Amino acid sequence: VQLQESGPGLVKPSETLSLTCNVSSGSVISNVYYWTWIRLPPGKGLELMGYIYHSGDTTYNPSLKSRVTISVDTSKNQFSLRVNSVTAADTAVYFCARVVLYSGYVDSWGQGTRVTVSS
């Protein structure tokens, strides 16, 4: 499988960050995988933001739950991330990735896209 992130590299404070992950050489409709967004802020560690099953069932990081929405479009074989009310603390490299059910490890990653929050 291959994953590719797309979306704006610059977002203004208080606005909404939107990214899409296109999945190729594989299907989001799978009963063995979740689809996830993980970010890496500068100088910090990896943070799993949430994940989604092809049915649309989602799980979110409790520290971000109020601002994050992950959705899936099975007809386009892609899934998306929205983060509301962004601040400079949301500046990071954002990765879309695939998580193996039951064990929970990430076996495939997109290359990552850098998003900067600045006016």
Partner 1 sequence: SYVLTQPPSVSVAPGQTATIICGENNLGSFNVHWYQRKPGQAPRLVIYDDTDRPSGIPERFSGSTSGNTATLTITRVEAGDEADYYCQMWDSSSDHTRGEHVVFGGGTKLTVL
| Cβ 33 to partner 1 shortest distance, Å | 14
User: Which member of 60, 72, 91, 92 binds partner 1 (CB under 8 A)?
Assistant: 60
What residues from 69 to 108 belong to the interface with partner 1 (CB under 8 A)? 95, 100, 102-107
Q: Which residues contact 48 (CB under 8 A, 6 or more apart)?
A: 36, 37, 38, 61
* 41 touches partner 1 by CB under 8 A: no
Cα separation, 56 vs 87, in Å, equals 27
Q: Which of 28, 110 has the CB closer to partner 1?
A: 110
Interface pick for partner 1 out of 25, 32, 45, 66 (rule CB under 8 A) = 45
83 burial (CB, 10 Å; 0-12 / 13-18 / 19+) is: buried
